Chains A and B, each alone.
Chain A
Amino acid sequence: MVKSRKKAGQYFLMVLITFLVVLPFLWMLVLSFKTNSEILSTPLALPKTFNFDNYKHAMETLNFPQLYGNTLFVCVISLISELIITFLSSFVLARMEFENEGIRKLLYGFLIIGLSISPFILLFPVYKINVFFKLRGKLALLFPYIATSISFNTLLFVGYLKSLPAEIDEAAVIDGCSIWDLMVRVVLPMTKPVIATVVIFNVLYIWNEFPFASVMLRDVTDYTLSMGASFFKGTYTVDYGGIVASSVMIIIPELIFYGLFQKNIVEGMTAGAVKG
């Protein structure tokens, strides 16, 4: 009796907490069907009719295909580049013999320091560097995103590559494998789980990133999704319905992505923390 009451209490708490956390999302959904005057005059009431005007308006104001296209473009190019360079450098750090052990440790430590560097100190200097290299618009975002991923990727890759037994290398070399073959044909396929983690972590980062985007992107046609979300505030200060609807339209794909890869995402986001 006591036990079942305790269980019931636990269930009650679980449902209550979950409900409280989800409530803001549900509220957004409700608001997105209300007209602006309804939001202003009767903030608590449910929408009288399901009208999709807010969504129509959001679609007219924001060029969603372009926003998604830009974000995807930046995301794919940064991801491919960073995966190639950080996998190679981590392979060197984890599995090659160094003449001096100290240098290996130093390099590793140097690359990991980045984890504690806040992006906000980088914004303006990176902007300057981009100007120097004549990188503009979307292209200006690629290097900052690649660079900020290096520390995290190094941490995960080196940690994982070190855990693979050294016999693999020896066997492969004895079988006449070149270093390149060893890396691409033998080690790379074994690294798949970490690559998945790294990809998901960085996709989420780039998808949501705002500070760099807000500094580098001047032209509306270059805007990424997070910039799109902030766009409404400046232009239509009072279009509450439009802001909500466009936010919902940005969130929903994210939540679907989350629903599909939930296990990997949770793993990816906590991996760095738990291992680091």
Chain B
Amino acid sequence: MVPTLLVYCIFIILPIAIAVRYSFTKYTGIGEAKPVGLKNYIRLFQDDVFWVSLKNTMITFVLAFALLLTISFLIALLLNKKLKGVDFSKALIFSPAIIAPIIVGIIWVYILDPNIGIINNVLDAVGASGLKHKWIGGDKLSPYSIAIIYFWQQLGYLVTIFIAGLKMIPEDVLEAVKIDGASPLQEIRYVIIPMMRTTISTVAVLIITGVFKIFEIVQQTTGGGPNHLSETLVTYSYSMTFASSDYGYGMSLATVTFILSLLITAVYSAITKEEKGGKRSRFSHISQRNARGQKQAGDTLEEREG
């Protein structure tokens, strides 16, 4: 017990305290750190690059969240079916998740690069040069591209978690639903999604915390440039700390980023918890009404036919 606690305290807990302490100082790596009170935090609020990196992080977060949550769920539904070669397909889709993020970044440079990347060259080749963009390294699109790259990297991983969740739904429930004549859409809407609530929130939390850890991909594709325009919170705090040797300011950025990601996770779990209580009753209500509605629809249909 003691060694674990010791290592944990010295290398996880203590560093956070150190980071917070440095965030109230000016320190260039030489000499002593000078305490400057809240100055770093005031500077942060007036720093355009901070707001740009916050905006970029948020763009990446929203896009990656929306894409990953829906598409990985849909692919999980598909790959949960009994198809030949489905295991092989799952294995291949999972593979981006195991390679080093730094290599993921390298790979995507060769796809998105405005000059040598596949996308712009394909657009040229099919005569759609008008659609060419600076996917990375321009002034606008980088955070969107980062979201796509992150999507590629995480897709198989999240699909696998969703499939594990799907497997936990008892067979007989699904059979009962089929016998009751629910359409596949109804089945997903009223049975599968409610029953997978915990899996869905697990995946959501994974995406939230994951987006705040994207680093290598940005570093490798744009390096935060040009002129800090594609910086994210993490890369900006890294470059302030280690490239500009502005350790105090870098640490205040790191602290803010850390608090922000905790906050979003907390808000998310608060929302879902509230919904859990409220929705369950609402759901049963809906399903009852739905059953009734179906019956009515069936009745009117019969009447009409009659």
Query: Which residues of A are at the interface with B, using a C-beta cutoff of 8 A?
Result: 7, 10-11, 13-15, 17-18, 21-22, 24-25, 27-28, 31, 39-40, 43-44, 85-86, 88-89, 92-93, 107, 111, 114, 116-126, 128-129, 143-144, 146-148, 150, 154, 204, 207-208, 210-211, 215, 225-226, 229-230, 233, 240, 243-244, 247, 250-251, 254-255, 258, 262, 265-266, 269-270, 273-274, 276
The total of chain B residues at the interface (CB under 8 A) is 83
Chain B nearest CB: distance from A57 CB in Å? Answer: 16
8 chain-A/chain-B pairs, Cβ below 8 angstroms: A25-B107, A27-B111, A39-B116, A120-B257, A244-B106, A251-B103, A254-B100, A262-B91
In the bound complex, residues from chain A placing their C-beta under 8 Å from that of B202 are 273-274, 276
Q: How far is it, in angstroms, between the C-alpha of A123 and the C-alpha of B253 when the chains are bound?
A: 13
> Given A250-B100, A258-B95, A262-B91 in contact, is the A121-B254 Cβ separation under 8 Å?
yes
Known: A11-B83, A88-B1, A254-B98. 12 other contacts (CB 8 A): A27-B110, A43-B115, A88-B4, A111-B8, A123-B238, A125-B14, A129-B11, A215-B242, A230-B220, A244-B110, A254-B99, A266-B91
Q: How far is it, in angstroms, between the C-alpha of A148 and the C-alpha of B8 when the chains are bound?
A: 8
The 8 closest A-B pairs by CB, nearest first: A125-B15, A147-B11, A89-B4, A125-B18, A208-B100, A121-B254, A85-B3, A18-B89
> Given A121-B15, A125-B22 in contact, is the A210-B93 Cβ separation under 8 Å?
no
Q: How far is it, in angstroms, between the C-alpha of A97 and the C-alpha of B254 when the chains are bound?
A: 40
Cross-chain contact A150 with B7 (CB below 8 angstroms): yes
Most interface-central of B85, B95, B100 (chain A CB within 10 A): B100
Which B residues between 73 and 104 are near A, CB-CB below 8 angstroms?
75, 78-79, 81, 83-86, 89, 91-103
> Given A14-B83, A208-B100 in contact, is the A117-B16 Cβ separation under 8 Å?
yes
In the bound complex, residues from chain B placing their C-beta under 8 Å from that of A10 are 78, 81, 83
Q: How far is it, in angstroms, between the C-alpha of A164 and the C-alpha of B299 when the chains are bound?
A: 55
Chain A nearest CB: distance from B186 CB in Å? Answer: 17
In the bound complex, residues from chain B placing their C-beta under 8 Å from that of A18 are 89, 92-93
Chain B nearest CB: distance from A248 CB in Å? Answer: 9
Q: How far is it, in angstroms, between the C-alpha of A44 and the C-alpha of B117 when the chains are bound?
A: 9
Cross-chain contact B161 with A274 (CB below 8 angstroms): yes
Q: How far is it, in angstroms, between the C-alpha of A265 and the C-alpha of B258 when the chains are bound?
A: 29
Mostly, the B contact residues are helix
Cross-chain contact B118 with A44 (CB below 8 angstroms): yes
Cross-chain contact B94 with A266 (CB below 8 angstroms): yes
In the bound complex, residues from chain B placing their C-beta under 8 Å from that of A116 are 209, 262, 265
Which B residues between 36 and 80 are near A, CB-CB below 8 angstroms?
75, 78-79
Q: Is B234 an interface residue (CB 8 A)?
A: yes
Cross-chain contact A124 with B98 (CB below 8 angstroms): no
Cross-chain contact A250 with B215 (CB below 8 angstroms): no
Cross-chain contact B92 with A21 (CB below 8 angstroms): yes
Q: Is B121 an interface residue (CB 8 A)?
A: yes
In the bound complex, residues from chain A placing their C-beta under 8 Å from that of B86 are 14
> Given A88-B4, A124-B251, A273-B161 in contact, is the A13-B78 Cβ separation under 8 Å?
yes
Nearest chain B residue, comparing its CB with the CB of A232 = B106
Q: How far is it, in angstroms, between the C-alpha of A233 and the C-alpha of B223 when the chains are bound?
A: 11
In the bound complex, residues from chain B placing their C-beta under 8 Å from that of A244 are 106, 110
Cross-chain contact A210 with B83 (CB below 8 angstroms): no
Of the listed stretches B137-145, B150-158, B281-289, chain A binds B150-158
Contact for B5 among A89, A122, A146, A210, CB less than 8 A: A89
Cross-chain contact B89 with A14 (CB below 8 angstroms): yes
Cross-chain contact B257 with A121 (CB below 8 angstroms): yes
Chain A nearest CB: distance from B145 CB in Å? Answer: 13
Which B residues between 152 and 201 are near A, CB-CB below 8 angstroms?
152, 155-157, 160-161, 164-165, 199
Nearest chain B residue, comparing its CB with the CB of A274 = B164
Contact for B11 among A11, A28, A143, CB less than 8 A: A143
Cross-chain contact A120 with B213 (CB below 8 angstroms): yes
Q: How far is it, in angstroms, between the C-alpha of A150 and the C-alpha of B92 when the chains are bound?
A: 30
In the bound complex, residues from chain A placing their C-beta under 8 Å from that of B234 are 118, 120
Chain A nearest CB: distance from B90 CB in Å? Answer: 8
Chain A nearest CB: distance from B200 CB in Å? Answer: 12
In the bound complex, residues from chain A placing their C-beta under 8 Å from that of B220 are 230, 233
Chain A nearest CB: distance from B257 CB in Å? Answer: 7
Cross-chain contact A122 with B99 (CB below 8 angstroms): no
> Given A21-B92, A210-B100 in contact, is the A118-B257 Cβ separation under 8 Å?
yes
Cross-chain contact A89 with B1 (CB below 8 angstroms): yes
Cross-chain contact B107 with A247 (CB below 8 angstroms): yes
Cross-chain contact B215 with A210 (CB below 8 angstroms): yes
Q: How far is it, in angstroms, between the C-alpha of A22 and the C-alpha of B247 when the chains are bound?
A: 41
Binary interface encoding of chain B residues 1-44 relative to chain A, with 1 for a CB under 8 A from any of its CBs, else 0: 10111011011101110110010000000000000000000000
Cross-chain contact A225 with B100 (CB below 8 angstroms): yes
Nearest chain B residue, comparing its CB with the CB of A213 = B102
Q: How far is it, in angstroms, between the C-alpha of A146 and the C-alpha of B8 when the chains are bound?
A: 9
In the bound complex, residues from chain B placing their C-beta under 8 Å from that of A258 are 95, 98
Contact for B19 among A24, A85, A93, A124, CB less than 8 A: A124
In the bound complex, residues from chain A placing their C-beta under 8 Å from that of B160 are 266, 269-270
Contact for A122 among B19, B93, B115, B164, CB less than 8 A: B19
